């Protein structure tokens, strides 16, 4: 359901204390520097009105957020700056863009049948389509107040310095400050020393890879929800066929890849070779004392390829995904650290092979934001009822990108699939995919909520 969004105020929220001169140039780590596409990481958190607040009371909550945000930016000072170049951020305390908006409708009405195009209006700009290049502001926030007093917080933060885990760390710090929690989150800003940036030429061979996920045509977004039972069934099928200890992300990714390949074949009349690339969080391979609250793009990409003449079975694809993710284990993370880390990155790029010219190969990117903890973010009004994934609906780019998110209970997965419109029409009717999930699952689950 669509509804009008009216922005009623815009301002800059500066850090409560100025950044010291010796910290005003923040050096980006190796992986930050080779993030080619100047996009934003985006997220929306929906908070029901459990306390029956009026709109004025909800606006007072939004106003109180500004003070805690200012204090939080003192600790997360790079997020209050501007992108200087590929190598650094100017921590000039320009602050975060902060908008307050009114949604002329009720949250329960919208959630009964979410309109993905309208959801982008809850963000400071739609799905990170605005460029986040040089001199761009790092942090942009829009707080939306519904007619029922519910609140949705939309964020666009430059991907030059944040990944999904960094977004969570920032939200944890901000919400703790707003809630008056005992723990003050001090971000770990040492990624540059862990992953030294000594080989800027690596940006060039990655350009073709990034561009392979941006193709002409109109993008459609659909949300496929896998509950715990469906995931257990997928894991059991893969295990019966010889895959050892597949994860829930691996089996969901493999099924989506299989069905996407079939949709492409039906849409174009022939089967193309296909590559699935996974963004892997490297923090989980680092000692906890090193990785705790580590800020930056502490991720790397690993790929699997499937030839057009190969028979495509689910367990074969699960095995492919499992093996490619396993490449980015502790040994790889150890190699990528230090002054010679770029050598491991270079080897990884070569191992990925040729991308191929546009149109000759289907390239899919899956980014999992599962187990991040977004449903624990409490600003003092309770936990969010819904945290959807990336939505590229209606755009001419961002096709073939999938964002995996937790369901509210934490046991299932919401797969936010962005695909060419023609291929999406086929995918959403795929009987194998619908045997494990349903497009109607989300709408049915929200009809169970009380009025918000």
Residue spans of alpha helices (H) in 159-202: 164-179, 191-194
Kindly name the residue from 37, 75, 86, 159 that is annotated as catalytic. Answer: 159
Answer yes or no: do 315 and 276 share one domain. Answer: yes
Instruction: For residue 249, give both structure tokens.
Output: 């992300």
pLDDT at 1: 60
Query: What local confidence, expressed as pLDDT, does residue 141 receive?
Result: 97
- pLDDT, position 129: 55
pLDDT value at 451 more than 50: no
* % of the chain with per-residue pLDDT over 70: 87
- Catalytic residue of the set 50, 268, 293, 378: 378
- Out of 167, 194, 221, pick the residue that ends a domain: 194
Looking at the fold, whether 183 and 205 belong to one and the same domain comes out as no
- Residue that terminates a domain, selected from 194, 223, 238: 194
Q: Are residues 225 and 331 in the same domain?
A: yes
Domain range for 294 is: 200-447
217 lies in the same domain as 287:
yes
Confidence tier at 359 by pLDDT (50, 70, 90)? low
For the chain, state the CA radius of gyration: 21
Nearest to 423 by CA among 265, 270, 238: 265
Maximum separation of any 2 CA atoms in the chain, in Å: 62
Shared-domain flag, residues 47 and 136: yes
Q: Which residue has the higher pLDDT, 443 or 252?
A: 252
Per-residue pLDDT for 408 more than 70?
yes
From 194, 212, 229, give the residue that closes a domain. 194
| Between 287 and 397, residue with greater pLDDT | 287
Flag whether pLDDT at 220 surpasses 50. yes
Q: By CB neighbour count within 10 A (0-12 exposed, 13-18 middle, 19+ buried), where does 73 fall?
A: buried
pLDDT of residue 346: 80
| Reported confidence tier of residue 448, pLDDT bands at 50, 70, 90 | very low
The predicted structure's pLDDT at residue 439: 65
For residue 130, name the pLDDT band (cuts at 50, 70, 90): low
Segment 63-87 shows an average pLDDT of 94
Do residues 30 and 87 both lie within one domain? Answer: yes
Tell me, yes or no, whether 92 lies in a domain.
yes
Whole-number mean pLDDT of the chain?
A: 87
Is 84 domain-assigned?
yes
Q: What is the CATH number of the domain that holds 69?
A: 3.30.559.10
Q: Is the pLDDT of residue 444 over 60?
A: no
Confidence class for position 343, pLDDT limits 50, 70, 90? confident
Number of domains in the chain: 2
Looking at the structure, tell me whether residues 146 and 259 fall in a common domain: no
- The residue-averaged pLDDT of 358-364 equals 80
For residue 452, tell me if it sits in a domain: no
pLDDT at 429: 95
| Same domain, residue pair 105 and 253 | no
Token pair recorded at residue 52: 């029956």
Q: Are residues 40 and 65 in the same domain?
A: yes
Name the nearest CA neighbour of 29 among 309, 275, 341: 341
Position 51 confidence tier, pLDDT thresholds 50, 70, 90: confident
pLDDT classification of 10: cutoffs 50, 70, 90: very high
Please check the confidence at residue 209 and state whether its pLDDT lies above 70. no
Mean pLDDT of 381-403: 85
User: Is 378 among the residues known to form the active site?
Assistant: yes
pLDDT at 68 over 80: yes
Whether 434 has a pLDDT exceeding 60, the answer reads: yes
Same domain, 143 and 245: no
**Secondary structure of 338-400 in the HEC alphabet?**
CCCHHHHHHHHHHHHCCCCCECCEEEEEEEECCCCCHHHCCCCCCCCCECCCCCCCCCCCCCC
Residues 375 and 248 in one domain: yes
Contact between 424 and 220 under an 8 Å Cβ cutoff? The reply is: yes
Query: In which element (H, E) is residue 148 found?
Result: none
Is residue 93 annotated as a catalytic residue, yes or no? no
């Amino acid at each position: 359901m669509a509804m009008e969004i009216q922005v009623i105020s815009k301002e800059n929220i500066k850090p409560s204390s100025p950044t010291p001169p010796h910290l005003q140039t923040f050096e980006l780590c190796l992986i930050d520097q080779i993030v080619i596409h100047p996009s934003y990481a985006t997220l929306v958190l929906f908070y029901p009105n459990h306390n029956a607040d009026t709109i004025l009371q909800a606006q007072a909550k939004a106003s109180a957020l500004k003070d805690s945000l200012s204090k939080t930016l003192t600790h997360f000072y790079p997020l209050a700056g501007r992108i200087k170049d590929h190598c650094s951020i100017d921590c000039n305390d320009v602050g975060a863009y902060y908008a307050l908006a009114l949604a002329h409708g009720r949250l329960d009405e919208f959630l009964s049948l979410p309109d993905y195009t309208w959801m982008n209006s809850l963000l400071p700009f739609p799905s990170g389509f605005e460029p986040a290049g040089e001199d761009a502001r790092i942090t942009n926030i829009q707080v939306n107040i519904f007619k029922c007093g519910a609140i949705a917080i939309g964020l666009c933060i430059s991907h030059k310095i944040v990944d999904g885990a960094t977004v969570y760390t920032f939200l944890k710090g901000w919400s703790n400050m707003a809630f008056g929690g005992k723990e003050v989150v001090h971000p770990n800003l040492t990624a540059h020393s862990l992953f030294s940036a000594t080989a800027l030429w690596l940006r060039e061979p990655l350009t073709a890879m990034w561009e392979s996920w941006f193709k002409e045509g109109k993008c459609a977004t659909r949300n496929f929800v896998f509950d715990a039972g469906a995931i257990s069934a997928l894991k059991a099928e893969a295990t019966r066929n010889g895959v050892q200890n597949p994860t829930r992300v691996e089996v969901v990714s493999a099924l989506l890849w299989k069905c996407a390949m079939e949709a492409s074949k039906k849409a174009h009349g022939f089967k193309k070779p296909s590559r699935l690339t996974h963004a892997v969080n490297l923090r989980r391979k680092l000692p906890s004392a090193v990785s705790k609250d580590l800020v930056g793009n502490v991720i790397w990409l690993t790929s699997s390829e499937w030839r057009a003449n190969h028979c495509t079975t689910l367990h074969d694809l699960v095995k492919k995904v499992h093996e490619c993710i396993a490449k980015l284990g502790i040994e790889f993370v150890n190699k990528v650290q230090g002054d010679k880390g770029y050598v491991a990155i270079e080897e990884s790029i070569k191992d990925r092979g040729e991308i191929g010219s546009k149109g000759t190969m289907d390239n899919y990117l899956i980014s999992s934001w599962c187990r991040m903890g977004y449903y624990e973010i409490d600003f003092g009004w309770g936990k969010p009822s819904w945290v959807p994934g990336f939505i590229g609906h209606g755009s001419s780019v961002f096709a073939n990108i999938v964002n995996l998110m937790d369901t509210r209970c934490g046991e299932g997965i919401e797969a936010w699939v962005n695909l060419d419109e023609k291929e999406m029409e086929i995918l959403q009717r795929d009987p194998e995919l619908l045997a494990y999930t349903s497009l109607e699952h989300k709408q049915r689950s929200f009809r169970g909520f009380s009025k918000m």
